[in-house]
Amino acid sequence: MRQFWHAWWVAGRIVGLALRARLEYRAEFLLNVAVGAVWQTSVLVFATVLISRFSGLGGWPSDAVLLMVAVRLLGHALYVLVFERIHKLAFILQEGLLDGYLLRPMPVYRQIQLAHFPTNAVGDLAVGLSLFVGALWHVQLDWTWPKALLLGAAVSGGMLMEAAIGTVISSAALRFPASFYWYTWVEELTATFGNYPLKILPGFVSGLFTFVLPVAFCAYLPVAVVSGNTEGIGVPVALAAASPLVGLAAFVLARMVWFRSLRSYSGWNG
């Protein structure tokens, strides 16, 4: 336990120093925060226009769609804050720097996450949290403790699911350095289709986003359970309700893939 808390203390110190370094350049810091906020706001504006023009989407009422968007954006903002630097592994490999990471007395995964402070995540988080609060205020639901706990867990589950996807793709970079382009493509798919009820898509495509690229577990399935829109979701209601646990399990499996891939790394020059 002493080693565990010491590791977290060291990580906290590194984050604090990285944040102070970013704050040395106030204009750049504020600009990066604004970039994160504008990116999230663009998704919000599109969703708001879509919801305001139509009474619902895919059989979902507009307030349920808004809640889904809020859960997805907040989970994504937390992912950017905590895990998103993992995609930098492709550049670290291309620059031949990974050997130095292997020599330091800290897990490589943690070193990559602590390499710099993600300033844009501050803007992402501000917009995501504001939208989440607004969606809770707007949605018409009979709240119970199980629903509230599931919704809170869904945010963490979405974060972990995105982290799992990013970790698996970055693990592939240890064998295929150009995998960053895969990451960009998958991120675009997630941002495009992860904010709306997947039942509006053809069944085959919806199945791909459930079982191949499991974006559905980030927000669609848990919010379907919370809002009572479980008809036609394509999976048993019990599995949809277990979405946060699916996210956790996916992250654990992704870390296993990461460790296995890292053990097979033979150096930047082969």
User: Is position 14 within any domain?
Assistant: yes
**Domain range holding 139?**
2-263
User: Is position 106 within any domain?
Assistant: yes
d(CA 64, CA 77): 20
Q: What is the pLDDT of residues 239-264, one digit of tens each?
A: 999 999 999 999 999 999 999 888 88
d(CA 23, CA 38): 20
**Residue type (1 letter), 127:** V
Q: What is the pLDDT of residues 151-187, one digit of tens each?
A: 999 999 999 999 999 999 988 888 776 677 788 888 8
Task: Take residue 121 and report the two structure tokens written for it.
Answer: 């995540």
The confidence band for 32, taking pLDDT boundaries of 50, 70 and 90, is confident
What integer pLDDT is reported at residue 46 of this predicted model?
A: 67
User: 5-9, 50-54, 259-263 — which is least confidently predicted?
Assistant: 50-54
Query: Which residues touch 177 (CB under 8 Å, ≥6 apart)?
Result: 90, 93, 94
Assess whether pLDDT exceeds 80 at residue 4: no
What integer pLDDT is reported at residue 139 of this predicted model?
A: 84
Assess whether pLDDT exceeds 70 at residue 21: yes
Distances from the Cα of 13 to the Cαs of 111, 118, 235, in angstroms? 13, 15, 43
pTM metric for this prediction: 0.88
Q: What percent of the chain has pLDDT over 70?
A: 93
Assess whether pLDDT exceeds 70 at residue 6: yes
Contact 48, 40 (CB under 8 A): no
Query: Which residues touch 104 (CB under 8 Å, ≥6 apart)?
Result: 111
Higher pLDDT, 265 or 169: 169
What integer pLDDT is reported at residue 225 of this predicted model?
A: 94
Contact 108, 97 (CB under 8 A): no
User: Is position 270 within any domain?
Assistant: no
Query: Which residues touch 48 (CB under 8 Å, ≥6 apart)?
Result: 66
User: Is position 20 within any domain?
Assistant: yes
d(CA 216, CA 222): 9
Helix ranges (H only) for 24-144 are 26-53, 62-82, 89-94, 98-103, 108-113, 120-138
User: Is position 138 within any domain?
Assistant: yes
The confidence band for 267, taking pLDDT boundaries of 50, 70 and 90, is low
User: Is position 125 within any domain?
Assistant: yes
User: Is position 110 within any domain?
Assistant: yes
Contact 121, 80 (CB under 8 A): yes
Q: What is the pLDDT of residues 224-242, one digit of tens each?
A: 999 988 888 889 999 999 9
User: Is position 268 within any domain?
Assistant: no
The dihedral built from the CA positions of residue 204, 209, 211 and 213, taken in this order, carries a sign that is positive
Contact 63, 137 (CB under 8 A): no
Assess whether pLDDT exceeds 60 at residue 270: no
**Rg value, the chain, Cα:** 19
d(CA 93, CA 99): 9
